[in-house]
Structure 1
Amino acid sequence: MKRFLERMFPETSPTTLLEHHAELCMKSGNLIKKILDDYFNGEDVLRYSEEIDKYETEADKIKTHLREIYTKLRWSYFDRIDALEIIHNQDALIDAVDDFVKLLTMNTVEDCPGEIVGEIKSLGEMVIDAIQMMKASVEELKVVVESDFSPQEVRKEDNITFDVEKDESRTDSIGISIGKKLFKLKNSLNAVDIIFLNNIVILLMRIADRAENVVERIRMIIRS
């Protein structure tokens, strides 16, 4: 009987694990502002990679635990594939933040125009907002499941999805705009630095994309 109940009602629910994993994404994402501030102030940012590595280790443990639960579960509100897809994109988000830090350690851009610095920092803040909304979406998924897919809670999830998609579109537009401004500086700024800064922008856009992927998968779950 005990084993049967564990299969039906695990001690830790998949939605709780997804929520804990999203919290690690948020902790990693929150570093983006500090990382950019320190980088453009000429400080070493490698220490942030060490901090993110700790979040990655914790995230891997949660992912393993989630897989173990789904090997035992006989019933769930949503499929194992959906849960693993969510956690895969959240993992990729943390990895992208780590890649972002490591890239910044490879080159120092001197005399970067203040306008470009300001816009990259603003883009970073928008990415943090996207991750925050992704986290809210994962938290709302837990509420939706516990409410047995209450229409009111489903509408809340829809609103979060709309906000994330709108912000992600803005992130893409701003990222492209920064890229265009960078390449207009080809006669005054080192070509290597232009490509380097553009790669930073692309990585920030990729982090926002991962956040949107999570929200889109959650919407598929609640609308299926």
Structure 2
Amino acid sequence: MAISIWGKMFQRFNPIEEVINHARIVEEASDYLPELFERYLNGKDITELVDKIDKLEDDADDIKRNFRQYLKKGHLYRFERADLLDFIDMQDKIIDLIEDVAKKMTFNRIDFDEEHKKMIYSVVDEIENMLDHFKKTVKYINIVLESDFAKNTVKIEEDDIAEMKWFEKDVDNKLFEFGKWLYSQKENIHPIDFIFIRELVLLLSRIADVTQNVCDRIHILINE
């Protein structure tokens, strides 16, 4: 495939390629979420998974650090330097939140009944769907560049981002139902357990929100 003019400019340091590499690490960490929750909710050891997620978060930080170092001021990039830096910072928040979920689980152990385990599994599955879409959407930045912003290519990217909004809405609805149940149990749950569950659920909500925000930012970048 012929290298576009933008590809030639990025040969020494390709910021889009680094963003995609960073996104792959974020998705790899997210792939552990279903197993993490399955183990946690069934009283199994999660130490190995927490360590793996922690290592991936370190790898993502290394890419972000190098990104800031090599994205030079005054160089010609297809996107504004400040926009690229803001973007990778926002994308990095996803893996930071995944690590927060994993580490928080090591603080306390909660027993849920099967019905509410299923509610949590459903939310986690929906977030995993969002993160799968997120990685595909990040790849579109490079595809759109290589196509010289062909309208049909941009349209595919826009359709995928529009679909993300339905995932986020579904996550919000499921977390709302879980939240109603949680507050109905406030007299029956130890206050520390109540706060712990609430914070865990809020972290899941933030993962969904930030993932949506990253994809919205891609839409803005491509359409500027």
TM-score norm. by structure 2 comes to 0.90
In structure 2, the residue matched to 1:154 is 154
Q: 1:8·1:73 contact (CA, 8 Å) conserved in 2?
A: no
Q: 1:194 to 1:9 in 2, by over 3 A?
A: closer
In structure 1, the residue matched to 2:129 is 129
Q: Structure 2: how far apart are the matches of 1:114 and 1:8?
A: 55
Aligned residue pairs, count: 218
Aligned-residue offset at 1:11: 2.9
Q: Structure 1: how far apart are the matches of 2:196 and 2:166?
A: 27
Q: Deviations over 1:95-139 (max 9, x none)?
A: 1111101111111113x2221111011101111111111111100
In structure 1, the residue matched to 2:90 is 89
Q: In the alignment, residue 77 of structure 2 is paired with which amino acid? A: S
For the aligned residues, what is the CA RMSD? 1.9
Q: In the alignment, residue 84 of structure 2 is paired with which amino acid? A: A
**SS of match in other structure, 1:138:** helix
Q: In the alignment, residue 189 of structure 2 is paired with which amino acid? A: L
Alignment of 1:116 with 2:116, yes or no, is yes
In structure 1, the residue matched to 2:15 is 14
Q: In the alignment, residue 222 of structure 1 is paired with which amino acid? A: I
Q: Structure 1: how far apart are the matches of 2:220 and 2:102?
A: 32
In structure 2, the residue matched to 1:67 is 68
Deviates more, 1:55-64 or 1:114-123: 55-64
In structure 2, the residue matched to 1:201 is 201
Q: In the alignment, residue 95 of structure 1 is paired with which amino acid? A: D
In structure 2, the residue matched to 1:53 is 54
Q: Structure 2: how far apart are the matches of 1:217 and 1:128?
A: 19
**SS of match in other structure, 2:78:** coil
In structure 2, the residue matched to 1:3 is none
Q: Deviations over 1:149-173 (max 9, x none)?
A: 1111111111111011221122112
Q: 2:73·2:81 contact (CA, 8 Å) conserved in 1?
A: no
Q: Structure 2: how far apart are the matches of 1:125 and 1:60?
A: 26
Q: Structure 2: how far apart are the matches of 1:131 and 1:73?
A: 33
TM-score norm. by structure 1 comes to 0.90
Q: Structure 2: how far apart are the matches of 1:39 and 1:62?
A: 30
Instruction: Return 5+ residue gaps in structure 1 as ranges.
Output: 1-5
Aligned-residue offset at 1:12: 4.0
Q: In the alignment, residue 179 of structure 1 is paired with which amino acid? A: G
Give the % identical residues.
Answer: 30
Q: 2:26·2:94 contact (CA, 8 Å) conserved in 1?
A: yes
Instruction: Return 5+ residue gaps in structure 2 as ranges.
Output: 1-6
